[in-house]
Each structure stands twice: as C-alpha cells, then as structure tokens.
C-alpha cells in the first residue's frame, strides 16, 4: 500500500499530556518528549501498524487552544482545519481532563471525525479518581478511550480502538454516528472558557507527598537548589569525574590517535607536508568538538531528569522570588552557573527556558562568565605576575561573575522579559530512564550534525589563514608570512591602548576564537617563562580583562546561533568584542595613570553606558516612542500609586485610555 | 479581594480575571470566573503563589495574582 493512501490520524493536545508518548507507542518512533514547552516543534509524521491495518500518524505541537497565536500552535490549527485526514485524536491527561474539554470541543467542531484518548488513567486511579469511558463518551459526544500509555495492555487497546474506527474498506459505515454532546449546553457558544464535565469523571484528591512537602520547604529548597547545581557541575566539569575524563579520552583518541596516525601515514607515503598538516588540524578540531559530547550529555541528562520529575520546576518556583530581582529565574541561573564549566554546553542548556526573551538574555550574559577553557590563560598570567596566583584567579572569577551580574541588571532594564508568565508546576514523579536515553541520543545526533559541521568549517578556514600566505604557498602552521600573521600585524594596533605592541599577542587572542585554551598555549610558546619581560603588569591586567569579556570560542558561537539565531549571536559576539576592548583600555588606563584617572575613567564609563543604553533604545523610531511611552506610563504609574492622582484632573485622549486602564488596575489594590 | 489576600491553604471562588492576553491561558489552566481555586503555598522572598485549580497546579507572580479577583470560600 502506498504511503499516500494510508488513512491519516492527527494527534492533538495540550503540552505535557503524553501526546508524544502515544505517538511513540503507535509508531515506534523516538519523538522527543518532555515537560518543556515547545519540545515538539513542527509536525512529525510516521506510519503505524494497528494490528492488520496501517495508518499514518501525525504528531502536532502541543497547544493550549486552537485560537492561540504562537507559531507551533498555528501549525496545529492549520493542520486541523485543513481537513486532509481521517481521524483527529485529542490526547488528554486524565489528571487534568476538564482542561482539555474546550480543546476537544473546538476540534470536534472542525474535524471530520474526533476521538478522545485519555492517558495516565493509572495515576488517576491511584489518587482515588476515575474516568468512565461510556459516560464520558455520552457527555462529550465522541468515542472515548481511557488507557495508561506506559502499559502494554494500554498500547494494545489503543491500537485496536483506532483500527476499529478506521478499519475496513467501508470506513463510513463503521464510524459511530455523531452524538450530540450532552454537555453542549453547559459551554457558552464560541467561548473557550468554562466547559465543565459533569458526568463520568472525578479528579480524586491528592495531597502533597512527603517528598513534595520537603521540596517546598523554604529552608530546604534554597540550599538544595545550589547543592544540586554544584553536584551537576562537579559531575560534568570536575577533575577526575566522568565529564572531564571522557573529554580527555575522546580528544586524545581522535586528535592524537586517529589524526596523528593518519598524518604519519600521509607523510610516510610521501605526501605533501600541507596535506599532513591539514589532516592533523582537521582531526585536532574534530577531536576538540567531539570532546564536548560527554559534558553536554551529562548536562542534558541531568536537566532532563530534573525537568521530567518536576524537581526543577519546584525549585525554580521556590527560588523565583530571589532571582527575579536580577531579572533571572532559577532555571536561568542553572544555565549561567554551568557557564563556569563550558560556555557552549551552557548555551545549549538554555533551550528549556521559560520564554524567549529570557533565553536571549542568558545567551548574551553567558560569554562574560569565564569558562574552564579560559582558566589556563588566567593561570599563566597570574603565575607570571602575582605572588599569590590562586588568589588572583579567584579574583578574576569573581570579576567575571560581577560582570555577568551587571550585564543581567542592565539587560533587565533595557529589555524587560516581556511581562508576566504563568508556570504550570508538575507533580513530582519518577522520570522514565528509557525516554531519557532516547532523548539524549537524539539530541547528541543533532549536535553532531549541526554544530560540528559549522565549527569544522570555521576551523578549516582558520587553519588556512594560519598555514598559507597570500600567494597560497604553504608556510607551515603559524609559519612566517602566513595570512594570519599579516592580519594580526594590522590588528595589533587595537592592542596598543593596552600597552601591548607585539602582534603575536593579537595572534594568540585570535587563536582563542578556535578554542580558548590555545591562547595560553600560544603565549607560552611565544614567550615561555619570559612573560613578565614582554608585558608590564598593567598590560597583563588589561589583557586579563580583555580575555574575561571577549566573545567565546566558535563552538559557543555556533551553540548561541542555534539557540537564539545567527544574527543575534553575531551581534552578541560583536558587542562582546567591543566591550572587551573597552574594558581592557579602561583597566590599563586605571593601572597606569593611577587614582587620578579613576574618577575620570568612572565618568567616561558611565557616559559610555548611558550612551549605549540610549542608543539601543533609539535604534528605530518606533522603539523610541514605545520606550518613552512606557517610561512615561511607569512614571505616571508611580504618581498614581502615591495617591496624587486624586488631586489631578483625569486625562482625556486615546492614548490615555490605555493609561487609564492601567490606573484602574493600579488603583484597585488601594480601594479593594 | 484578589488572590494576594489569600492565606496558604485557603480556597476561593474566582469572580474576575484581568490578565490581558494571559486570561485565556489562565482559563485553560482552570482559572476563570466561577472556578474554585486553592492557594497551596507562597514561595519565599516575596515570590510566586502556587495555586491549585481543578487538579492543575500553577504558579503566578504577585503582580498577576493581584489582578485575579475572588471571594473566599468558607470550609
């Protein structure tokens, strides 16, 4: 039977109702499931075998209602209203069935045939509730099936149910006659709200389990939050822990093992030095990229378990009051703190953040957090210039964190995170390890395909710049006269205000684009122990500041591009470079001119900041008026809540109706 | 009164929701005029309110809770 002839079944439902589990059940697929919103983006279609019948099942993005505006939801609405399918199956969670009643009604009004599949009925029974298929079917007017998707018996019943509805040549005769929903009178026409289910369903009572009560205890939640982050961090990035261990193993296996051996073969066979060098560089880059995998896997796995079990949302809830003051959430802080280990991996963990603006904000801030790859640079400089290198490094890290915090506060002012949001707090439950592993493998495959390819391309270009001169003659990696050298001889002028005049330092900074560890490597190759002679202390401090704020390696850039889009990632990198240089110049100025220059530098810094903020707000004319209007409202709002408005005459005019509504809202707590 | 006036464990019937574009989202989480909602707890540091409505548990910030009006229900 050709694919196009198969009957199509649409799966529709709210997020987190087990829709993707049903999809996987029917098709044996590995659609990524999870408590995150937007996990299923875009429809996925696969064939399922329902006993003797075969059908094509489409898993649509989870939606809240068919009238909703977000992109994933529009895709679902288009599919449902398009009508090129045999059956629309609304999947609902037994624990929150009334919530899906409105969605069911919407779908039933638009689809040729609709059924309701209620999942997690075992959990419902466990908390003393029940769902009666016959009564619900009569109440809602569609065929209803209640199963527990995790059990084999449930899967069997599901397939039989669907086959029965679709099966046979004469599909129309087999279909049940359309029933008038007996609850139709309860729902207001065209209203998405208030569609109660009166018969056939009882939610049961469920008090909080002991674990939940512990988790929601403020004395436990906050320390537990930081302990969890520390544990995950340590597991992924700690010395001798699996993350680092595997990272080093993979890197040496691919770069030295495979790359080295291949290069040896090439040289032995009389190949050109350029070819051998290319092989070494290529496998070196590949090794570095693949070595990211273990740490990314650990972070992803940890996050998956925490999100699926409801642990993360509980802790995020408890810590939200604290982090909201700096414009972040608990989940965002997790991603930020992982940045101390690896910026690229941390960027990839921002996927599940509560909303896009927050994700962008975190992606902008992350480069300022010094990743572990910057550590060798700091250590090299600190060891050369300070009598207490460890203390110096600690100070550097503190400075990095302070920088990130400042960035967070500035961004919170300039681009607020778009108002309130409502978070659903999942119940604590045991996550499925099988799903975790499947999701992980899918995710890693995506990483390899997307990021490894982009970054490899960039690395090859860098190798070309380093190994060939402008007449495309091979000069050896970093050899005299290579294109990179010419480039850095020009770029070195950017480093002059830092008191650095050697172009090789510019080169080492450039090599940091590939991997931050190379900066330290280059410095030691070029200067060895003679670093204090090459740079003054002021320059060293300035260079450290530069390293602290400069944009991260190209892998992190690729990760950022994947999360927030290419344009924004490049903009963030450009901004980061500019701030890095500015910061370095400022540090150098402070160190050389001493305390006299400090107030002047401070004033200049503040002016730059203010200019920078204004510039961003005024980029487009609409932005200016919107920002100004917003500011005016807030200002106005402060006046109102101070109670002064009672003395001022009310404003007239169209724009002010919006303000007045806000006034009303602001005033009600006072009068209420 | 609004939700901010509730104490942990108290139940209330919602009389009005003024949440702009979030009103529909709230309704689909069982928070709409006429529905019963329980304040399970408040987060520390002046944080969010954890509500339970028809089996669904959701967290809202204080600013939003102040715009959900209700009447306390006697036990």
Q: What is the tens place of the pLDDT at every residue in A61-73?
A: 666 554 444 555 6
Q: Is the pLDDT of residue A116 over 50?
A: yes
Average pLDDT of the residues in B37-54: 85
Q: Does B9 touch chain A (CB under 8 A)?
A: no
The residue extents of the domains of chain A are 3-202, 215-370+416-463, 621-641+654-671
Contact B44 A420 (CB under 8 A): no
DSSP 8-state code for residue A186 = T
Q: How many CB atoms neighbour CB A614 within 10 A?
A: 12
Contact A320 B2 (CB under 8 A): no
d(CA A300, CA A444): 9
Kindly report the nearest CA distance between residue A320 and chain B, in angstroms. 6
- Cβ contact A64:A338 at 8 Å: no
Chain B stretch 12-71, residues whose beta carbon is closer than 8 A to a beta carbon of chain A: 18-19, 22, 24-30, 32-35, 40-41, 43-48, 50, 54-61, 63-64, 66-67, 69
Which of B27, B56, B66 is opposite residue A424, by nearest beta carbon?
B56
Q: Which residue of A has its CA nearest to B67?
A: A665
State pLDDT tens for residues A482-518.
888 888 888 888 888 888 888 888 888 888 888 888 8
- Cβ contact A642:A648 at 8 Å: no
d(CA B10, CA A495): 64
Average pLDDT of the residues in A118-124: 86
Cα-based distances in Å from A88 to A64, A363, A461, A513: 16, 39, 51, 50
Is residue A634 packed enough to be buried (19+ CB in 10 Å), middle (13-18) or exposed (0-12)? Answer: exposed
- Cβ contact A500:A535 at 8 Å: yes
Q: Which residue of A has its CA nearest to B41?
A: A216
Can you tell me the ipTM of this complex? 0.90
Take residue A137 and report the two structure tokens written for it. 């079917």
Average pLDDT of the residues in B10-15: 88
Take residue A169 and report the two structure tokens written for it. 């040549």
pLDDT score of A366? 92
Which of A321, A420, A426 is opposite residue B63, by nearest beta carbon?
A420
Residues in A closer than 8 angstroms to B45, CB to CB, are 319, 321-322
Q: How many CB atoms neighbour CB A399 within 10 A?
A: 18
Interhelix angle for A330-338 vs A311-323, to 10°? 90
d(CA A467, CA A186): 76
Where does A291-368 have alpha helices with state H?
292-309, 311-323, 330-338, 343-348, 356-365
Of A309, A104, A65, A94, the C-alpha closest to B54 is A94
pLDDT score of A39? 44
Average pLDDT of the residues in A9-21: 78
Mean residue pLDDT across chain B: 84
Average pLDDT of the residues in A408-437: 77
Cα-based distances in Å from A74 to A18, A43, A231, B26: 20, 11, 40, 19
Strands A144-146 and A114-119: parallel
Contact A68 B58 (CB under 8 A): no
Share of chain A above pLDDT 70, in %: 76
Take residue B30 and report the two structure tokens written for it. 């069982």
Contact B27 A321 (CB under 8 A): no
**Helix, coil or strand: residue A208:** coil
Most confident of A48-52, A110-114, A195-199: A110-114
Where does A421-482 have alpha helices with state H?
433-447, 453-467
Take residue A305 and report the two structure tokens written for it. 């378990």
**Helix, coil or strand: residue A409:** helix
Classified by CATH at the fold level, domain A3-202 comes out as Rossmann fold (3.40.50)
Residues in A closer than 8 angstroms to B59, CB to CB, are 317, 320, 422-425
Of A95, A185, A200, A97, the C-alpha closest to A139 is A200
Of A325, A322, A407, the C-alpha closest to A366 is A407
pTM above 0.90, yes or no: no
φ/ψ region of A649 (left if φ > 0, alpha if ψ in -120 to 50, else beta) reads beta
d(CA A89, CA A50): 15
Class of domain B3-72 as given by CATH: mainly beta
Average pLDDT of the residues in A586-611: 71
Take residue A518 and report the two structure tokens written for it. 């190379």
Q: Is the pLDDT of residue A616 over 70?
A: no
d(CA B64, CA B67): 5
Contact A424 B57 (CB under 8 A): yes
Cα-based distances in Å from A13 to A16, A40, A90, A326: 9, 12, 5, 35
- Cβ contact A570:A533 at 8 Å: no
pLDDT score of A74? 64
Least confident of A102-116, A229-243, A397-411, A606-620: A606-620
Give the CA-trace dihedral at A654, A656, A660, A662, to 10 degrees. Answer: 110
State pLDDT tens for residues A342-367.
898 899 888 877 777 888 889 999 99
Of A256, A307, A247, the C-alpha closest to A283 is A256
d(CA A639, CA A650): 13
Give the mutation candidate from B57, B61, B69 for the A interface (greatest A CB count, under 10 A). B57
Residues with Cβ < 8 Å from A577, sequence gap 6 or more?
A: A550, A551
Contact B2 A14 (CB under 8 A): no
φ, ψ (nearest 5 deg) of residue B36: -100, 140
d(CA A666, CA A668): 6
Q: Which residues pair with A48 in a beta bridge?
A: A55
d(CA A233, CA A226): 10
């Amino acid at each position: 039977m050709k694919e196009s002839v198969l009957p199509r079944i649409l799966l529709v439902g709210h997020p987190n109702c087990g829709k993707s589990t049903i999809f996987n059940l029917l098709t044996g697929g590995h659609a990524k499931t999870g408590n995150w919103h937007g996990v299923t983006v875009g429809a996925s279609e696969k064939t399922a075998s329902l006993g003797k019948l075969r059908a094509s099942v489409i898993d649509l993005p989870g939606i809240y209602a068919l009238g909703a505006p977000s992109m994933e939801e529009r895709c679902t609405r288009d599919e449902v209203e398009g009508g090129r399918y045999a059956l629309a199956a609304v999947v609902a969670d037994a624990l929150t069935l009334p919530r899906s009643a409105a969605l069911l009604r919407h779908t039933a009004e638009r689809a040729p045939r609709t059924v309701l599949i209620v999942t997690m009925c075992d959990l419902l029974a466990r908390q003393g509730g029940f769902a009666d298929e016959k009564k619900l079917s009569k109440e809602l007017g569609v065929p209803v099936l209640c199963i527990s998707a995790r059990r084999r018996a449930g899967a069997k019943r599901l397939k039989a149910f669907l086959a029965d509805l679709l099966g046979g040549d004469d599909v129309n005769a087999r279909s049940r006659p359309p029933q008038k929903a007996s609850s139709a009178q309860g729902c207001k026409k065209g209203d998405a709200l208030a569609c109660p289910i009166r018969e056939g369903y009882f939610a049961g009572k469920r008090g909080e389990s002991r674990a939940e009560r512990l988790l929601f205890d403020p004395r436990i939640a906050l320390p537990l939050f930081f302990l969890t982050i520390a544990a995950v961090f340590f597991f992924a990035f700690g010395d001798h822990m699996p993350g680092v261990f595997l990272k080093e193993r993979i890197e040496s296996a691919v770069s030295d093992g495979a790359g080295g051996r291949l290069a040896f073969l090439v040289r032995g066979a009389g190949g050109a030095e350029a070819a051998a060098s290319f092989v070494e560089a290529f496998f070196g880059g590949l090794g570095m990229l693949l070595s990211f995998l273990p740490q990314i896997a650990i972070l992803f796995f940890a996050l998956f378990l925490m999100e699926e079990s409801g642990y993360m949302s509980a802790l995020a809830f408890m810590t939200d009051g604290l982090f909201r003051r700096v414009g972040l959430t608990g989940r965002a802080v997790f991603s930020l703190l992982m940045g101390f280990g690896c910026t690229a991996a941390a960027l990839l963990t921002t996927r599940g953040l509560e909303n896009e603006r927050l994700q962008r904000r975190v992606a902008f801030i992350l480069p300022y957090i010094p990743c572990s790859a910057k550590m060798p640079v700091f250590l090299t400089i600190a060891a050369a210039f300070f009598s207490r290198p460890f203390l110096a490094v600690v100070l550097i890290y503190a400075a990095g964190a302070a920088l990130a915090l400042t960035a967070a506060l500035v961004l919170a002012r300039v681009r607020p995170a778009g108002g309130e949001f409502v978070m659903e707090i999942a119940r604590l439950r045991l996550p499925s390890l099988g799903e975790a592993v499947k999701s992980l493998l899918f995710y890693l495959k995506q990483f390899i395909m997307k990021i490894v390819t982009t970054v490899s391309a960039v690395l090859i270009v860098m190798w070309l710049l380093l190994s060939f001169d402008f007449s495309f003659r091979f000069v050896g990696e970093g050899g005299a006269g290579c294109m990179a050298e010419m480039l850095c001889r020009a770029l070195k002028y950017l480093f002059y205000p830092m008191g650095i005049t050697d172009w090789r330092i510019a080169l080492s900074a450039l090599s940091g684009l590939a991997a931050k560890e190379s900066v330290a490597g280059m410095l030691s190759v070029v200067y060895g122990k003679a670093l204090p002679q090459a740079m003054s202390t002021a320059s060293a401090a300035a260079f450290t500041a530069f390293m602290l704020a400069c944009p991260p390696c190209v892998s992190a850039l690729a990760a950022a591009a994947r999360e927030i889009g290419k344009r924004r990632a490049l903009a963030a990198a450009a901004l980061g470079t500019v701030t890095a240089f500015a910061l370095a110049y400022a540090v150098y100025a402070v160190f050389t001119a001493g305390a006299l220059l400090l107030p002047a530098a401070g004033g200049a810094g503040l002016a730059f900041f203010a200019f920078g903020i204004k510039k961003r707000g005024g980029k487009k004319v609409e932005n200016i008026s919107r920002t100004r209007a917003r500011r005016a409202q807030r200002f106005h709002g402060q006046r109102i809540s101070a109670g002064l408005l009672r003395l001022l005459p009310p404003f007239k005019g169209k724009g002010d109706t919006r303000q007045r509504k806000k006034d009303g809202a602001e005033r009600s707590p006072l009068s209420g | 009164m609004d939700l901010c006036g509730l104490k942990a464990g108290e139940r209330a019937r919602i009389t009005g929701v003024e949440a702009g574009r979030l009103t529909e989202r709230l309704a689909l989480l069982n928070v709409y005029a006429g529905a019963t909602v329980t304040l399970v707890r408040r987060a520390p540091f002046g944080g969010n309110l954890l509500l339970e409505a028809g089996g669904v548990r959701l967290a809202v910030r204080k600013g939003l809770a102040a715009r959900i009006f209700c009447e306390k229900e006697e036990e």
